[in-house]
Structure 1
Amino acid sequence: MSRLRSLLFFSLIAASPLLMAGCGDDAQSAPPEEEAPALPVETSAAQVGEISAFFSGTATLTADEETDVVAKSGGIVSRIHVEEGDYVRVGQILAQLDDERLALEVARAETDLLRLERERDRNEEMFARQLISAEEIERSRSAYDAQKAAYDLANLALEHTTVRSPIAGVVSSRMIKVGNMVQTYAPTFRVTSFSPLLAEMHVPERELNKLSVGQEATVRVDALAGENFTGRILRISPIVDPTTGTFKVTVEVRDRSRKLKPGMFGRIGVVYDTHEDATLVPKQAVLTQDD
């Protein structure tokens, strides 16, 4: 039995090199694994600077002041002094209605007033010398006062034949021509103030605590690419629209150059938070979890 075990042991030892050789041949015959190609990577150094959080919205620019200038008196238009696009000051003459008849009425009222003034002064002297009664001097005074009121009314009617602008701005529309018959309180011109202009944004209620009256705003319009205009938040509505979930924020922008026009489409940005010495990296270098 022991002899059989010895023969089996030596047989296994003798076969070991052959087994190892067979294993070596299989390992050498397996193809080598290919390495994945390296992806190109562009590096950039992070920078330290200022970063701001801002709200952006859109709105159509509207005029803060705009008025239809009405004729305070009826009459025929005799002269027009301005045209559409002209800038006018407060009180500037825009047009003149025919005033010949009213000028004659003023002249007649003035003549009667001067006559009654002389009579009153003469009667005052006579009353002081007790040459006329108190009733006579009172009638003289009353006649003068009544004529003074008539004279003032005639002057006012004459003044109303001159159409003046109640605000400073640009003549945006002319509704009359020379020779037209204008009725009292009929519109004659429209004057629009170009500064300030207003932009009304409808802001989601979640942004309510980020905005406040007086905050600076930047305004851009598509028609003036590359130009920025400075404004500020003028008022914030305290009521949220339950239908849209937004509240109204009004931005005021002043433009002395008058490049901005009512009706332009504006893009408004309001910075509500700023961090200094922040670490800045390019936006395209930031990957989200979904990426």
Structure 2
Amino acid sequence: MGKLFLCGSIVLAGLALAKFVVLAPREVSIAAVAVQDVVAEIQGTGTVATERQPRMGSKINGRIERVLADEGDFVKEGQLLAVLEDADLHHQVALARAQLEAARASAHRAKLDWERAKKLVVRDNAISEAEYDAYEEDYRVAESAVGVEEAELRYREFKLSETKVVSPVSGLVTKRWVDPGDAVVAGQPLLTVAETATIWVAADVDQRFAHKVLKGQPATVILRGRPDKPIRGEVYRVNPQADPITEEMRVEVTFPLPPDELQVGQWAEVYIEVGTVTNVLTVPKAAVLPFGNDKFVFVAGSDGKVRRAKVELGPTSPRLPFVPVTGDLQVGERVILKPIGLQGGETVRVAEAPAASSQGRQPESRP
């Protein structure tokens, strides 16, 4: 009998507890509706690039003698980067100079002979007209030979100059392709230099926002390698053609960066400012619950009663925890965070430590 009584007591206690759990008000976290200014931003992701990244190539076949720059070095326009072996070309230049001197000597002798012939003709017609013409022709041919040898010397000196590879831009060496002793052919790259005059992020942005992005708009760049140091920049160029597969468009955002911090290809995020709204009601994004095409927030009254309010969302930024709203809301009203499962009309219990309100500063955008 005692055991039956004990079992019955346990069952009744369990039913009472279950009833309490079912009927007890749901505990919720809340935030206050606030008024503030909001800078609307569009997010894009991409990689760091520069306007020019020329590959310094050899113009002739040969073998590398010296490489005077390495990856990570900053070089200036016109700076010598690499030298090819040039002993054979030096020999060719010396030979061309000797041939030029010989041609000039021959031309000088031919000129003297021609001038002597002119005197003989003028004085007493000591030579025939045909002989005179022959002297003149020899001189003209010798002068032409000088011109040919001068051109040959210029060509050999030019080929010798091609053993020296110089940078056409000022920038950062991002790739070294060869080492001393390597055989190379004409056109083969030796080093790659990223020009640092213009640095940008080539970012992909959802094409739905194409009409909002314009050249010159301010933007914020956040590099993966320094996420705590946002950099101010601006839209440099908007590609008019979208990718039909990804449904994104390419936007280039320029920003200043010291050359020693440049990492071409580094991943980055950009936030393009497309407008500002002032003195608007805001709620945390976590308070908004979609139903079909509509958006709702749930307001906890002072008595714990829940009221459902339909709202329209305004432009915001992916970096912000809050969003502008219009609808049946008042400043200071308490909206419920993460209201999944609520319908409106329920009674809730507000947690003792309320969540932070939607009032807050926007992310810092300046370095």
Is the aligned partner of 1:265 residue 2:252?
no
**Among 197, 218, 221, the residue aligned to 1:219:** 221
5+ residue gaps in structure 1?
A: 1-35
What TM-score comes out, normalization by structure 2 length? 0.59
Deviation at 1:119, TM superposition (A): 4.2
- Residue of structure 2 equivalent to 1:176: 178
- Residue of structure 2 equivalent to 1:76: 63
Does the Cα contact within 8 Å between 1:194 and 1:261 map onto a contact in 2? Answer: no
- Residue of structure 2 equivalent to 1:62: 49
Is the aligned partner of 1:114 residue 2:105?
no
Cα deviations by residue, 1:136-181 (Å, 9 ceiling, x for unpaired): 3321221011101110111011111122223322222223222333
Which one has a bigger Cα radius of gyration? Answer: 1
1:244–1:100: structure 2 CA closer, same or farther, 3 Å change rule? closer
Is the aligned partner of 1:155 residue 2:142?
no
1:253–1:147: structure 2 CA closer, same or farther, 3 Å change rule? same
CA distance in 1, matches of 2:44, 2:267: 11
Cα deviations by residue, 1:232-284 (Å, 9 ceiling, x for unpaired): 22222223334443332222333234423112111101112134xx3266644
Deviation at 1:87, TM superposition (A): 1.2
5+ residue gaps in structure 2?
A: 1-24, 119-131, 289-295, 299-367
What TM-score comes out, normalization by structure 1 length? 0.72
The list of structure 1 runs, each at least 4 consecutive aligned residues, that deviate by more than 6 angstroms after superposition, is 39-45
Deviation at 1:85, TM superposition (A): 1.5
Deviation at 1:286, TM superposition (A): 9.8
Does the Cα contact within 8 Å between 2:38 and 2:276 map onto a contact in 1? Answer: yes
1:229-268, aligned counterparts within 5 Å? 229-268=231-270
Q: What letter matches 1:85 in structure 2?
A: G
Percent of aligned positions that are identical? 24
3-state SS in 1 of match to 2:241: coil
3-state SS in 1 of match to 2:211: helix
1:152–1:233: structure 2 CA closer, same or farther, 3 Å change rule? same
Cα deviations by residue, 1:88-129 (Å, 9 ceiling, x for unpaired): 122211222221221122122112223323544565576577
**Among 210, 228, 231, the residue aligned to 2:230:** 228
Deviation at 1:80, TM superposition (A): 2.5
Deviation at 1:184, TM superposition (A): 3.1
Structure 1 or 2: larger helix share? 1
Name the Cα RMSD after superposition. 3.2
1:290–1:165: structure 2 CA closer, same or farther, 3 Å change rule? same
Is the aligned partner of 1:204 residue 2:206?
yes
Does the Cα contact within 8 Å between 1:56 and 1:270 map onto a contact in 2? Answer: yes
Does the Cα contact within 8 Å between 2:43 and 2:269 map onto a contact in 1? Answer: yes
1:98-109, aligned counterparts within 5 Å? 98-109=85-96
Does the Cα contact within 8 Å between 1:217 and 1:232 map onto a contact in 2? Answer: yes
